[in-house]
Amino acid sequence: MPPVNTTRDNSALFLPTAIVIAGVLVGGGLYFGLSKSGGSAAQGGTQPTVSVDIKDVKIEGSPYIGKADAKVVLAYWSDFQCPYCKAVDVGGIPQIPIEPAFPILIRDYVDTGKLKIVFKDFAFLSEDSTTAALYGRAVWALYPAKYYEWREGMFEAQDEEHGGFGNEASIVTLIKSISGMDSAKVKADVAANREKYQAAIDADRAEGGTLGINGTPGFITGKTMIPGAAEIASFKGAIDPQL
């Protein structure tokens, strides 16, 4: 698909070293619970040291942005309910005051044909996480050129976990607001392909666990794992040597 353009102006980021294993916003404050897979939830926790290689990541069939044959690939495991994922993608969470890395990655690497970003599901925080992941599969199947616009809209609309946005009705409403998408068609596709999409979602999470991804967000590019809501320097430091 063609590169995604962005007009956002973003400055340098700083790194909160946490990985959200299960995050909820409560009373305006952020706290972390325990992962369903038993991972550490402490802020400042780190992923285990694991040897990784992007060549081991299954990317065929997964949503992506950028040139299909871009020299560098970044695989990104996320949960649409994860506030740290929102911080990396679009920002806007006062409790996680970082500038989002993705607009810079898109401007400097995706739009210039250097980077392909592959999106992997790690849906584990709630039922809404799974619903969003299912709709993500349907959007990619039916409207791949609209996928990133939809994804960005999902994170911009994210509120407190179980706070209202994220169920099927609210996702359908969001789709209705995006020009060129038929919400009824997407909903029907989810219903028709739920079992297939669920299997792909489960496979993404299992694959991530095998590679050492035990929370969200988590990234692999080249032979580098980038855990958590990393600063842009961490991404550039892993991407630039591959170019």
pLDDT in tens, 91-129: 988 888 888 999 999 999 999 999 999 999 999 999 999
What pTM, to 2 d.p., does this model score? 0.81
Specify the pLDDT at position 231. Answer: 87
Percent of the chain whose predicted confidence (pLDDT) is above 90: 72
Region class of 212: left (phi > 0), else alpha (psi between -120 and 50), else beta: left
pLDDT digits (tens, 9 = 90+) for 46-94: 445 579 999 999 999 999 999 999 999 999 999 999 999 999 999 988 8
Residue 75 and residue 219 in contact, taking contact as beta carbons nearer than 8 Å = yes
- Span 160-177, mean pLDDT? 86
How many Å apart are CA 110 and CA 89, to the nearest integer? 14
Beta bridge partners of 148: none
In the predicted structure, residue 162 carries a pLDDT above the cut 80: no
Q: Which CATH superfamily is domain 23-242 in?
A: Glutaredoxin (3.40.30.10)
Task: Calculate the CA 115 to chain-centre distance.
Answer: 16
Beta bridge partners of 227: 218
- Strand (E) positions, 52-186? 64-65, 72-78, 115-121
In the predicted structure, residue 240 carries a pLDDT above the cut 50: yes
How many Å apart are CA 57 and CA 32, to the nearest integer? 28
- Per domain, the residue ranges of the chain are 23-242
